[in-house]
């Protein structure tokens, strides 16, 4: 028997990845625009701002993915595999445009 459905964790963490990707790009812009405040504060937490950035990304990704998986009891996240791929690829492109646009 073929299972063509997509699991709740794939949906939840796929959406979480898309959101985290965009938030991470926005954090890059925020840090680089505020070097003496935000970037310095993030560097003071772990010794380097990129380490703190990565930890923030992991916390957001895991927390949001877990929260979304709890919503998916029944019809909470009704999204097809194809739609999820489109959401993820779109988020990656938007994130790239945000960062590239900032540095140009």
Look at residue 4 and tell me if it is in a domain.
Answer: no
Residue 30 · residue 101 · CB < 8 Å: no
Give per-residue pLDDT as tens, 3-28: 557 888 999 999 999 999 999 999 99
Look at residue 29 and tell me if it is in a domain.
Answer: yes
pLDDT band at 1 (very low <50, low <70, confident <90, very high): very low
Domain interval for residue 65:
17-103
Give per-residue pLDDT as tens, 47-97: 999 999 999 999 999 999 999 988 866 556 788 899 999 999 999 999 999
Q: Please give, one letter per residue, the 3-state secondary structure of 22-45.
A: HHHHHHHHHHHHCHHHHHHHHHHH
What's the pTM? 0.88
Look up residue 98 and give its two tokens: 């945000």
Number of domains in the chain: 1
* Rounded-to-integer distance, Cα 93 and Cα 60, Å: 19
Look at residue 7 and tell me if it is in a domain.
Answer: no
Region 17-44 average pLDDT: 96
- Which residues fall within 8 angstroms of residue 67, CB to CB, at 6 or more apart? none
């Amino acid at each position: 028997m073929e299972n063509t459905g997509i699991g709740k964790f794939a949906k939840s963490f796929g959406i979480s990845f898309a959101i985290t990707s965009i938030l991470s790009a926005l954090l890059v812009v925020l840090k680089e625009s505020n070097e003496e405040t935000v970037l310095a504060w993030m560097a003071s937490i772990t010794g380097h701002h990129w380490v703190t950035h990565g930890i923030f990304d992991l916390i957001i990704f895991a927390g949001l993915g877990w929260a979304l998986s709890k919503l998916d009891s029944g019809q909470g996240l009704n999204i097809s595999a194809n739609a999820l791929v489109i959401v993820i690829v779109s988020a990656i492109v938007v994130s790239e445009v945000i960062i590239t646009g900032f540095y140009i």
